[in-house]
Amino acid sequence: MDDASSGKPWEAFHPDGVIIFSDILTPLPAFGVQFDIEDVRGPVIQSPIRSEEGLKSLHSIDLEKLQFVGDSLRILRKEVGEQAAILGFVGAPWTIATYIVEGGTTRTYTKIKDMCHTAPHVLRALLSHLSKAIAEYIVYQVESGAHCIQIFDSWGGQLPPHMWDCWSKPYIDEIVGIIKRKCPQTPLVLYINGNGGLLERMKTTGVDVIGLDWTVDMADGRRRLGTDIGIQGNVDPATLFCPLSALTDEIKRVVKSAGTSGHILNLGHGVLVGTPEEAVAHFFDVAKSFDFDKVEDHVSEADKVVA
């Protein structure tokens, strides 16, 4: 990549929204959970919390320890001005709790799922603490310049729907309620990896936008969610490794399936390591080339045929 695209993607691509990558685990030390990043294992929690004794290490979030996040948002806000939305993001309580309980990354989630049955009071106390800390962290990001906040319940899709209702949704509800009171003009986006079985449940949290991964058909997602809520996504990130003509076709399919309003075109998850730079540029070029009057005409004609 050249200096502009590797150092300042904003200057290279000029998207409608920009974000400073700050891992969802970034705020953990600010409320008492220390971790390291190892080359092979990834994040490693030094003292996993699985008991009442472990809960004693938690404390209220110290936003001074996250000043670098606020400083970065202010710098970015100054640089892009009003030309693009500044996006903040946080992890949802359940997702963050999986790392804290499991001790790091996991593929099975056995320890935290066991806690749902063997130590529910401990897990609820942990999730409640996380809800309050994350809500404060969101307010801090908004006050530092974020226009919009994305909530990533990345591992919420690892829960059966009835367990998501019990162990994730109430804590997202709490966060949404706090932000709607303290920052009522700030849109909230909720994303869950593998969310096909949870779309209707996600809508009841009160967020403004639902992010769809690429395993959900965009047209089906729009039908299920209705037109009174925004949707985001859902181009498969692997498509950026395909011929550019195939990427063009997929972007057009997703946009037409989403309808004429309330859709934020995006990937269904993050950009994969090794993604060709020219594919990223092509994604933006195609997105900016849309004539939405023609898209609307296309949808209207399809409605007439159905009628």
Strand (E) or helix (H) holding 285: helix 277-288
Question: Of all helices (H) and strands (E), which one includes residue 181?
Answer: helix 169-182
CB 73 within 8 A of CB 20: yes
**Computed over its alpha carbons, how large is the radius of gyration of the chain?**
20
What is the maximal distance between C-alpha atoms in the chain?
Answer: 64
- 277 or 10, which is more confident: 277
Higher model confidence: residue 22 or residue 180?
180
* Residue 293 pLDDT level (bands cut at 50, 70, 90): low
pLDDT score of 301: 40
Tens-digit pLDDT profile for residues 97-142: 999 999 999 999 999 999 999 999 999 999 999 999 999 999 999 9
* Domain with 185 in it: 3-306
List, for residues 184-230, the tens digit of each pLDDT value: 999 999 999 999 999 999 999 999 999 999 999 999 999 999 999 99
Phi/psi at 261 (5° precision): -155, 160
Give the confidence band of 41 by pLDDT, cuts at 50, 70, 90: confident
Asked if residue 82 lies in contact with residue 151, where contact means CB atoms within 8 angstroms, the answer is no
Which three-class secondary structure state does DSSP give residue 8? coil
* Range name among 3-7, 13-17, 24-28 with the lowest pLDDT average: 3-7
Q: What is the pLDDT of residue 261?
A: 86
User: How many structural domains compose the chain?
Assistant: 1
**β pairing state of 35-38 and 17-19:** unpaired
Is residue 5 over pLDDT 50?
no
pLDDT at 306: 32
Q: Strand pairing of 42-45 and 35-38?
A: antiparallel
DSSP SS3 for 194? coil
Q: Which of 10-19, 228-237, 249-258, 274-283 has the lowest mean pLDDT?
A: 10-19
Cα pseudo-dihedral 140, 11, 80, 66, rounded to 10: 20
In the predicted structure, residue 16 carries a pLDDT above the cut 80: yes
Q: pTM of the predicted model, to two decimals?
A: 0.91
The predicted pLDDT at position 21 comes to 76
* pLDDT tens-digit readout, 84-93: 999 999 999 9
What are the residues whose beta carbons fall under 8 Å from the beta carbon of 180, sequence distance 6 or more? 206
Q: What is the pLDDT of residue 106?
A: 94
- pLDDT, greater one: 37 or 128: 128
Grade residue 290 by pLDDT with cuts at 50, 70 and 90. Answer: confident
Distances (CA, A) of 184 to 139, 219, 233: 11, 30, 24
Task: Give percent of the chain with pLDDT exceeding 90.
Answer: 83
pLDDT reading at 295 higher than 70: no
Burial 18-57 (b: 16+ CB within 10 A, else e): bbbebebbbbbebbbbebeeeeeeebebeebbbeeebeee
pLDDT at 304 over 60: no
Task: Please say whether the beta carbons of 35 and 29 come within 8 A.
Answer: yes
The pLDDT tens digits for 59-108 are 999 999 999 999 999 999 999 998 999 999 999 999 999 999 999 999 99
Q: What is the CATH number of the domain that holds 236?
A: 3.20.20.210
Mean pLDDT of 265-287: 94
User: Is 298's pLDDT higher than 50?
Assistant: no
Euclidean distance between CA atoms 250 and 254, whole angstroms:
6
Q: How confident is the model at residue 170 (pLDDT cuts 50, 70, 90)?
A: very high
pLDDT tens across 227-271, in order? 999 999 899 999 999 999 999 999 999 999 998 889 999 999 989
